[in-house]
Amino acid sequence: MEIKISPVNEGEWMESDVSAMGTDDAVRPEIKDALFQIDSLSFWYRESQALHDISMDIPSRQITAYIGPSGCGKSTLLRCFNRLNDLIDEVRIEGDIRFEGASILDPSVEVNSLRKRIGMVFQKSNPFPKSIYENVAYGCRIHGIRRKRDLDEIVERGLRGAALWDEVKDRLDESALGLSGGQQQRLCIARALSVEPDVILLDEPCSALDPVATAKIEELMQELKKRYTLIIVTHNMQQASRVSDFTAFLYHGRLIEYAETKTLFIRPRKKQTEDYITGRFG
Amino acid sequence: MNLGRDDRTRRSERVGESLTWLCGGALAFNLLMIVAVIGFIGYRGLDYFWQGRVALCRLEDGRRLLGEISGREERPPTPGKTLEMTGRLQLRVGNRDVTGAGFVWIDDDQIAEISYPEDALLLERLEWGHFYGRAVELRRGDEVLARGPDEVWRAFGPLHEEKVARREAIERLERGEIGDINFEIERLRLAGKRLARRDLSPDERALQEAAIAHETKEREAQYQVLADRLFEERESLAEEQLVMETADGERNAIAVGEIVRAVRPNAMSLLDRAGLYLGRVREFVWDDPRESNTEGGIFPAIFGTVLMVFIMSIAVVPLGVLAALYLREYAKQGVLVRTVRIAVNNLAGVPSIVFGVFGLGFFVYLVGGSIDRLFYPDALPTPTYGTGGILWASLTLALLTVPVVIVATEEGLAAVPRGTREGSLALGATKFETIRRVVLPAAAPGILTGMILAMARAAGEVAPLMIVGMVKLAPTLPLDHHFPFVHLERKFMHLGFHIYDVGFQSPNVEATTPLVFATALLLVLVVTLMNVAAIVVRNRLRRKYASSAI
Ligand SMILES: Nc1ncnc2c1ncn2[C@@H]1O[C@H](COP(=O)(O)OP(=O)(O)OP(=O)(O)O)[C@@H](O)[C@H]1O
Ligand SMILES: [Mg+2]
């Protein structure tokens, strides 16, 4: 199957093509307690549109996964949740995202407190060039916690939460850059946990890890789900089906199908979804 | 399928190999040049402190000369006179007060005999430089304390030690108490002038004037007492005299207190010589210069150089880092920023003397002049900051080296990955917090590299400093025990200028040429030392943030 992507403003022919791709007739589940409500979100890097009119609700205390081929806009969408795209020059955003009912795209939103509540773990692990201890304590330090005793506790809690404590408890003062790739990624999770967020965004957290480290992080996510809302981007269909409760399939910046993970993987309603999860393209 | 290497591969490998040799050769050549420069300066510089033997030359015409052989020159045969190569010796004969010249050249064929008498005595004096001769007697006034070279030598030691101690006491007196009183008197004079400009009732004015006059008088009385004591002490330095005889038999009496050091080079063991060597190195590094810089030490120049580089670093690092931060982190990248960056880079290529002229016009006349008018009006017309000084020299050099710091810092900042910044921002840190706590520490090694380069450049600059405060001889260091302890308005000495001054401005060029090498060696050492210190810090930082291979 071949899908043609053209600029938006090309008239009649385009219209039908867009609807043929199913922007508006995207399949959506009923979400009862939605934490995020995305409302016709479109996003542009300069002139090129990366997200097309996406609407979906994201449930609280569940794991929601985004899947889709490379370049389809998963990271872009994820970075809208904590407004990390603000850092990029000449982007434009339309539509809205509501977090607990309030818009987060509003210019009056305190971005720093928003980001404190919505943590993020990046595709490529990015520990600070500091000691392991300082990496985890960093977030709380900037939010004004100074007491050594409090910080010690936070560091331990964060590292335990990320299942890293036993491996590093004797070397907290060593450089974080001396850890293995998997340990670094878990350190980044510990860092995200340290500020007690409500949501954690994970952008392909396992893409650079081996199966053992991946399994550890997946296990960890099941644990974290009890207290946090997780949104994960992944390339790995097995991973999505293993860990997530809901899965959304993005394709060329459009939401194609969004459903409970079981449903999506067993009985996809859209042809494109089926093709993608069965590996016929991607 | 043919898996053998084809012609093209082989040709390219041959070219590659010769290119490797060429690169290696270029590197070896560069290293050789560096080693040669350092080695030559090191050899000539270290040789300066070594005490050679003292030769007694009897000439064909019966004249006798005593001194150290300091050089030799080959000469081509003179047509009609000689057929073979001849040469001539350079002899350092000292005794400038007797003979007028410190060095003589003697043709080889004039020398009848060279011997090395055990009792040849070398005196290093406060004035007139070296004296070579034999001791005849030691006298106090008309009383003879010792007679004959050996007896005099034995008696001289303890006496000389006593005189050296006294000389040091005099120096302390001059620098300490007398200096303090002069400082106070100057302060009172300025207080008087300030009073004259203040708006006071006649009674009040009279009262205060009287107080100042009274205090001044008291200080002056104290000064008089000390000056008398100083005079007496000085007199006592000249009480004993060492009567010396030159090789020609001429006699000369030298005050014991005038003698810095007396040695009998031909009677010294290797160990003695090594001790003397170290003593001279110590003196060179720690003492003040004498005899318009041609003798004594160069401590003020070392101090001036180091302090200037230090102040420059304090000024240039924040300035450069802030500028680089703005350029790299805050400014919107575009044509304007690119232009500024190119301009900054080109600033490093402006001839340094231009910076000197700018420093004179801007810092000295404009800024310094304004400071004087605002804060030191009482001292006018004598300028305080309105003339060259170590502060202005340091700031001029800071301007000169700021591009280096900016470029290095920008590179350091650019090397901090975007992911690291985003990691910090995603935790809710502001941009400022991110820069201060993550980006700057990670860029610190780069910043230090910039600082090292700036320091090396600054320590070697001489031209711009000549017009903003560097002098041949500074009476006081810019750091002393008078409040506020650091006197940034003062003039200062500098090793680079010292080399130029000693080597090319001195009347006694032969004697000072070795000094040029010794000073140059020291300049290299000082710069190296400062750089090594900075490099150690940088490596420690690097190790702290050592990255792993992920
Ligand atoms: N900073 C940027 N400037 C311009 N275009 C960008 C930028 N970042 C991403 N894009 C474009 O936006 C589209 C979506 O990119 P995004 O990174 O969201 O993809 P992704 O789904 O995360 O892909 P991957 O799975 O490879 O990470 C791509 O076409 C990409 O080229
Ligand atoms: Mg991505």
Is A188 part of any domain? yes
Phi-psi label, residue A97: left if phi above 0, alpha if psi -120 to 50, beta otherwise: beta
Query: Among all residues of chain B, which has the CA nearest to that of A115?
Result: B428
User: Considering chain A, what is the average pLDDT of its residues?
Assistant: 85
pLDDT tens digits along A108-159: 889 999 999 999 999 888 999 889 999 999 999 998 888 999 999 999 989 9
Instruction: Tell me the C-alpha distance between A161 and A180, whole Å.
Output: 18
Residue given tokens 């000469």 in the structure block? B75
Is A65 part of any domain? no
What is the structure's pLDDT at B321?
Answer: 94
Contacts of B114 (CB under 8 A, 6+ apart): B55, B56, B57, B58
Q: In Å, how far is B424's CA from the nearest CA of chain A?
A: 8
* 8 A C-beta contact, residue A142 and residue B437: yes
A124 CB near ligand 1 (under 6 Å): no
What is the structure's pLDDT at A20?
Answer: 41
Contacts of B171 (CB under 8 A, 6+ apart): none
Judged by DSSP in three states, B69 sits in strand
A71 CB near ligand 1 (under 6 Å): yes
What is the structure's pLDDT at B426?
Answer: 92
A92 CB near ligand 1 (under 6 Å): no
pLDDT at A86 over 90: no
Instruction: Tell me the C-alpha distance between B442 and B437, whole Å.
Output: 9
Which band of pLDDT confidence, cut at 50, 70 and 90, is reported for residue A7? very low
Chain B hits for A192, Cβ within 8 Å: 426-427
Is A50 part of any domain? no
What is the structure's pLDDT at B492?
Answer: 85
Question: How far is ligand 1, taken at its centre, from the CA of residue A71, in Å?
Answer: 5
Closest C-alpha residue for ligand 1 atom 12: A50
Based on the structure, what is the number of domains in chain A? 1
Instruction: Give chain A's radius of gyration (CA, Å).
Output: 20
What is the structure's pLDDT at A17?
Answer: 41
Q: In Å, how far is B260's CA from the nearest CA of chain A?
A: 57
Our CA dihedral for B374, B375, B380, B384, rounded to 10 degrees, sits at -120
Residue A143 has its nearest CB partner, among B425, B428, B437, at B428
**Tokens encoding B99:** 């003979």
pLDDT tens digits along B108-126: 888 888 899 988 899 988 8
Which of A17-26, A40-49, A215-224 ranks highest by mean pLDDT? Answer: A40-49
Is A182 part of any domain? yes
pLDDT at A12 over 50: no
Please, is B402 exposed, middle or buried when counting C-beta atoms within 10 Å of its C-beta (0-12, 13-18, 19+)?
buried
What is the structure's pLDDT at B5?
Answer: 66
Q: Could you say which DSSP state residue A195 is in?
A: T
Residue B525 CA neighbour count, 13 Å, CB half: 13
E strands of B43-93, at which residues? Answer: 55-59, 64-75, 86-92
What is the structure's pLDDT at A233?
Answer: 94
Q: Does A125 touch chain B (CB under 8 A)?
A: yes
Q: Could you say which DSSP state residue A62 is in?
A: S
Ligand nearest to the CA of A71: 1
What is the structure's pLDDT at B486?
Answer: 77
Ligand nearest to the CA of A235: 1
Residue B191 CA neighbour count, 13 Å, CB half: 16
What is the structure's pLDDT at A1?
Answer: 38
- The low-confidence residues of chain B, meaning pLDDT below 50, are 547-550
Ligand nearest to the CA of A73: 1
What is the structure's pLDDT at A136?
Answer: 93
Q: Can you state the percent helix, strand and coil of chain B, rounding each to 5?
A: 60, 15, 25
Is A192 part of any domain? yes
Judged by DSSP in three states, B91 sits in strand
Q: Could you say which DSSP state residue A84 is in?
A: G
Our CA dihedral for B426, B430, B436, B442, rounded to 10 degrees, sits at 20
Neighbours of ion ligand 2 (CB under 5 A): A 75
* 8 A C-beta contact, residue A135 and residue A191: yes
Atom of ligand 1 nearest to the CA of A76: 18
Residue B448 CA neighbour count, 13 Å, CB half: 18
Q: Could you say which DSSP state residue B387 is in?
A: S
Interface ipTM: 0.86
Degrees, nearest 5: CA angle A170-B418-B415: 85
Residue A175 has its nearest CB partner, among B420, B424, B545, at B545
**Tokens encoding B490:** 């003062």
Q: What is the pTM (predicted TM-score) of this model?
A: 0.80
CA B16 to centroid of chain Cα atoms:
48
Is A149 part of any domain? yes
Which residue among A5, A41, A44, A45 is best mutated to probe the pocket of ligand 1, counting the most ligand atoms within 8 A of its Cβ? A45
A136: CATH: 3.40.50.300
Question: How far is ligand 1, taken at its centre, from the CA of residue B415, in Å?
Answer: 22
Is A69 part of any domain? no
pLDDT at A265 over 70: yes
Chain A hits for B425, Cβ within 8 Å: 84, 87, 115
Q: Could you say which DSSP state residue A131 is in?
A: B
CB contact under 8 A, B428 and A115: yes
Domain B299-548 - what CATH class?
Answer: mainly alpha
Give me the sign of the Cα torsion angle B108, B110, B113, B115: negative
Q: Does B420 touch chain A (CB under 8 A)?
A: yes
pLDDT tens digits along A185-200: 889 989 998 988 999 9
CB contact under 8 A, B428 and A120: no
Instruction: Give chain B's radius of gyration (CA, Å).
Output: 32
What is the structure's pLDDT at B404?
Answer: 92
Instruction: Tell me the C-alpha distance between A172 and A176, whole Å.
Output: 8
Is A184 part of any domain? yes
* 8 A C-beta contact, residue A123 and residue A207: yes
Burial profile B527-537: b = 16 or more Cβ within 10 angstroms, e = fewer: beebbeebeee
Domain boundaries along the sequence of chain B: 299-548
What is the structure's pLDDT at B546?
Answer: 55
Which residue among A5, A41, A67, A74 is best mutated to probe the pocket of ligand 1, counting the most ligand atoms within 8 A of its Cβ? A74
Query: Among all residues of chain A, which has the CA nearest to that of B442?
Result: A129
Q: Does A130 touch chain B (CB under 8 A)?
A: yes
